[in-house]
A and B are shown apart, each in its own frame.
Chain A
Amino acid sequence: MKAVILAAGEGTRLRPFTVSKPKVMIPIANRPIMEYAVEALAQNGIRDIIFIVGYKKERIMSHFEDGNKFDVNIKYLTQPKPLGTAHALQFAEKEIDSDFLALPGDNLIDPKEISKLMESEGDNSLLIAESQIPSKYGVVFLEKETVTRIVEKPEENISNLISTGIYRFTPEVFDAIKTIGEQGNNDLTAVVQHMIEKGKKISGIYGIGKWVDAVFPWDILHINASAMLEAKMGTAGNIEKGVTIKGQVFIGDESVVRSGSYIEGPVVIGKGCSIGPNVCILPSTSMGDNVSIQPFTMVRHSVIMNDVQLGSSSTISNSVIGDGVRIGSHFATNNGEALIKIESGYHSVNDIGALIGEDTEIGDQVVACPGALIGAKCVISSSNKLEGTLPNRSMVR
């Protein structure tokens, strides 16, 4: 069986973390989130994978190359404009001649769920999950194991069963895509609804295993914490005397952890990092490569991407810090509940710190209020308070 991974979208709701990479390349426990999907497919013996790429596709191609590293063969097809998931899938038509899987590249999926989908009866099937926030997905209505209706992002809370966007299709889906496309709709949910209306049976496979996806920036924290539980352990690099390491911790090559530092897993630290002395890293924190953390700083439940520099005596928790961010000393994120604006909607988020886009520079003694969403390449001078949303390239004096 072949599989098609839809990886062409930018993920605009994940901005600013998609400024220089598509959302499927956002690091989760230091690996691009899409690697988890590829791995789940390979574990189920799916070797031929078609990547539909578009937005900043070269980032994906440079990482996955021909797929040999991942025991699969990858074929890249380009969707030149982001015109919807069905439009993207259409590009795979010429490569498909029998049943196949179609899935998004931005979620963490238990390989067992994939095998359930592969073994399911019926030609077309859809993997279903439960969600607390059904309004951000396609909501599904089931009768026994057949999908009777699917509604994209309903405003009312009509059911908490949602489509994971992971499908098994027969090639006849391409006809449905064309029909729906002629009506000006390019969404896979609409295609599935159309197939139901035409009397095609769509089986709903109810997944109970792990499934998490990244829609909003704060989802990165949950998905990271979840992936971290299964991350590899091991400590390379130079761990000085007097460093305490507890629990499941991974430290990459050529990293230096200096004396007096305390690391409590699950924690993943990349290569070439310079940590401490006297730095405290607490559970569910992942850190990319070339990160530098000055003395007396504490980081907890956060995702710190590549090339970040954190100053001394800072406190960072429940935060996502993008590539190359540089923060001075005495920085603090305040945790708590926040109302965060993404595109035109407001979202209430609990336990959130700061979300900071790549290459932003922050001076000394800056405080970030809960849910501060700071764009990429901003410059924030010392002794400021950050709150609300700042667009890319903002200057705060």
Chain B
Amino acid sequence: MCGIVGYIGDKDAVSILLRALKRLEYRGYDSAGLAIIGDGVSCYKDKGMIDNLQKTMPMMKGKIGLGHTRWATHGKPSKENAHPFLDCEGKIALIHNGIIENHMELRSQLLKEGHKFLSETDTEVLVHLIEKHYNGNLEKAVKESLKLVCGSYAIAVIHADEKDKIIAARCESPLVVGVGSGENFIASDVAAILDHTNNVAYVMDNEVVTLTKQGFEISTLKDEPVSRPIETVNWTLEDAEKGGYKHYMLKEIFEQPMAIHNSLLGRIPDLTLNGFLDGQFNSIKIIACGTSYHAGLIGKYIFENFSKVPVVVEMGSEYRYSEPVHEKTLVVLITQSGETADTLAAAREAKRRGSMTIAITNVVGSSITREVDYTFYTRAGPEIGVAATKTFTTQLVALYILGITLGLIKGTLEYDKIRELTSTLRKLPRYVQSVLDNAEHIETCAMTMVNASDVFYIGRNINYPTALEGALKFKEISYIHAEGYPAGELKHGPLALLTPNTPVVAIAPQDHTYEKMLGNISEVSARGSPVIAIGLREDTDLPKLADNVIYIPEVPPFFSPIPITVVVQLLAYYVARERKCSIDKPRHLAKSVTVE
């Protein structure tokens, strides 16, 4: 989903457009750009944040212009693929939100006619198509061009020879005109222009709007004029952004059933990854940083269990100091942003040593995807909160799918077992949903942790990494010291730290480690520490041992890290909220770590 804005009036277009783009930041984006009409059309665009764009951009002056934020779906995020796009002569600039379905055939036709393309995007064909049809009248050229286009779009176009107008059009993507006095706006999103006006007119499908300083005119693609009333919107920006939630993090936690659903789409019918992998590898190395590293640790249990191939997990920043990989090592790199510097360096190194590489990332076309042999997208959608939530659980989904693939290739999973596993995968969105339905109880449990000095998370087997992730979530947003431990290691040291003011979160689904976990919980409560146990529904042992019990649905224990993660995310969130912490932007932390 891209954001588009256009301005025409008497003020400095650059500052107005940049501000409008910042209003769209919350939707998530990976690149941004501007085009301004001054003497001619000047355009500046780049990958990365709007703040960076602002710092690096050259002086641009003008009173008419277009601005765009892009979240890549086709074609990687890069300077070339960012909008606006210019025609061959650099006179027309265009921005677009949507997908042009017949861009391949249009592109080959335009290439034959001598047009020069600089990007891989579907959008670029539009600007060349308009150039081809331009005969001194931009509106006419836009209409002629759009008649040839199949797909969804909201576009805005300017031309260096028509310095008094912006032409915009819509089909199945949002587009709204903002009406000011002596100035007008066009945008994909009312939030972008609310700083300047609350008078708007909505553009409908197959309509084209001509925007001038004084006003706007709407007509259909077939040239029939349309009259459209101006409406007054009376909402504030705060309302819009978080769609009813108090924080992005909470919004994103609650989006997990949908995110997991999306990451499963189309994956189960094609478990062989298009036949990409062969069974030649005899060891697997997983490389990742931060939260992704915890996903990697869980991945180790999954891969070893399903494919019986030994797995080593390395932190990206430590990888270079370890024993090198070789041709028979399958290297799996996990990075949400696809830009994590340490993980990128590891990918290059692995490639250089001849290993087969697979990336698991959320960002289409990000840098990592160019370094590896195969990319598995998690499709969690943009994540604004700095603490990773839905991007983590969808990484786990990716690892389960990949694990089943490896088992299939290695012949270590029977057909019936695979059907059983994929059936569980299909149920994940609803397992997570039922944890979310229990949020109120989790909130009550969280209240017992608000004044803790330290918190310990303990788990065994595949839920040891879940304990690590729980502790990381907790400390990064609530600023309370938290540690994750393998439950069996407590008595080798940390037990000395337990006091009545150090709550312990014990993860105890009924797998083969369950009895031992019960023992560990007794150990802890004997030291007077309050215990919050997380167990399977209908567990009757835990209430006897723990102060509070949080139940998750009766999922096969091997898949329990996903619903349990959602529990620990909510614990962290409610404690941080109660402590009035800056949840979406914890101090000193950044979303994507692009330095080593």
Instruction: Write the residues of chain A forming the contact surface with B, with a CB cutoff of 8 angstroms.
Output: 20, 45, 47-48, 53, 56-59, 61-66, 68-69, 71, 73-76, 253-256, 271-274, 289-290, 292, 306-307, 309, 323-324, 326, 358-359
Contacts and interface: CB of A to CB of B under 8 A. Distances in A.
A272 B174 contact: no
A184 to B, nearest CB: 27
B190 interface: yes
Contacts of B254: 58, 61-62
B255 A62 contact: yes
A272 B243 contact: no
Contact of B426 (A63, A75, A290): A290
Nearest to B553: A377
B266 to A, nearest CB: 3
Nearest to B3: A68
A226 B471 CA distance: 51
Contacts of B245: 61
B426 A48 contact: no
6 contacts: A45-B229, A57-B244, A289-B261, A290-B265, A290-B268, A323-B429
B243 A307 contact: no
Contact of A48 (B174, B176, B234, B434): B234
A359 B427 contact: yes
Contacts of A273: 269
B418 to A, nearest CB: 13
B73 to A, nearest CB: 11
Interface of B: 174, 176, 188-191, 202, 229, 231, 233-235, 239-245, 251, 254-255, 257-258, 261, 264-270, 423, 426-427, 429-430, 433-434, 436-437
B190 A48 contact: no
A271 B266 contact: yes
Nearest to A76: B244
A69 B174 contact: yes
A255 B269 CA distance: 9
B267 A307 contact: no
Contacts of B436: 58
Nearest to A358: B430
Contact of B240 (A68, A309, A324): A68
Contact of A65 (B174, B243, B270): B243
A272 B426 contact: no
A156 B240 CA distance: 47
A87 to B, nearest CB: 20
Nearest to B419: A309
Listed from nearest, the 6 A-B pairs whose CB atoms lie closest are A254-B266, A76-B244, A272-B265, A274-B269, A272-B266, A65-B243
Nearest to A61: B244
A66 B240 contact: yes
B243 A359 contact: no
Given A290-B426, A326-B423, A73 B235 contact: yes
A1 B423 CA distance: 47
Nearest to A258: B269
B190 A73 contact: yes
A323 B430 contact: yes
A62 B258 contact: yes
A253 B191 CA distance: 30
A309 B426 CA distance: 9
Contact of A73 (B239, B266, B430): B239
A307 B427 contact: yes
Contacts of B269: 256, 272-274, 292
Contacts of A306: 261, 429
B426 A307 contact: yes
A47 B199 CA distance: 12
Contacts of B190: 68, 73
Nearest to A58: B254
Contacts of B176: 71
A20 B268 CA distance: 23
B437 A20 contact: yes
A272 to B, nearest CB: 4
B255 A274 contact: no
Nearest to A73: B235
A73 B240 contact: yes
B427 A48 contact: no
A63 B243 CA distance: 10
Contacts of B202: 45, 47, 71
B51 to A, nearest CB: 23
A76 B244 CA distance: 6
Given A45-B229, A47-B233, A326-B423, A292 B268 contact: yes
B399 to A, nearest CB: 18
Contacts of A66: 191, 239-243
B249 to A, nearest CB: 14
A324 B430 contact: yes
